[in-house]
Amino acid sequence: MKTRKVHDSTIALAIITITLIVGCVLFRSKFSMPVFLESAEHLEQQRRVLLLYHTDHEALLKAGREILRQGPKDPMNYRYYGPMHIDGFPVPGGVRIPKVIRKLRPHASLINFNGYVVLQMQGGWADFGVRIYPEGFRAPDRRYFSYGNRELLPGLWYYDRKYNHDPEYNKRIDEIIEEGKCQDTDKSTANQK
């Protein structure tokens, strides 16, 4: 009989302990998730500012074209072994990545099968970056081809998934390009050069 009481009290103690742990986890996640999401959005904006305000676009265009000169001569028929990306294949290992691109630390540096470079700054839901086209590039005869959302220089196009959801998004990009301003925090990052 005594054994049963000890067993029952052990089970009750275990249930109370598990309930408290689950409660603490749920309580923390309820309050930490908004902070995490806010932090992720701020990081995303900082990467936009780095790309659009702090980067020399002339040097970036030149660097992307240098990658194209060193890369495969016929990207459409290039055989890459490894994981593929929707925008193309990773820059081959033997191709030197210029410093201006390395400093950006893009999520992916790709060569598109149509013969241009894609620097994806961030993937997933916040997909944005630049596309760098060779001189004299002609768009393929495809119905859904897009150079990007905004031409920064002839041959250098910025693309951003947020253009699809916000008709006023170009104004926000103007603020970043001209002032180095994050629209989410309204803090200027111009002094961080």
Distance separating alpha carbons of residues 177 and 150, to the nearest angstrom: 12
The mean of the pLDDT values for the chain is 81
pTM given for the model:
0.71
**Placement of tokens 């990467």 in the chain:** 47
Alpha helices in the chain (DSSP H): 2-52, 57-70, 99-104, 169-179
Asked whether residue 91 carries a pLDDT value surpassing 60, the answer given is: yes
Half-sphere exposure of 47 (CA within 13 A, CB side): 23
Q: What's the confidence (pLDDT) of residue 96?
A: 92
Asked whether residue 185 carries a pLDDT value surpassing 50, the answer given is: no
Q: What's the confidence (pLDDT) of residue 186?
A: 44
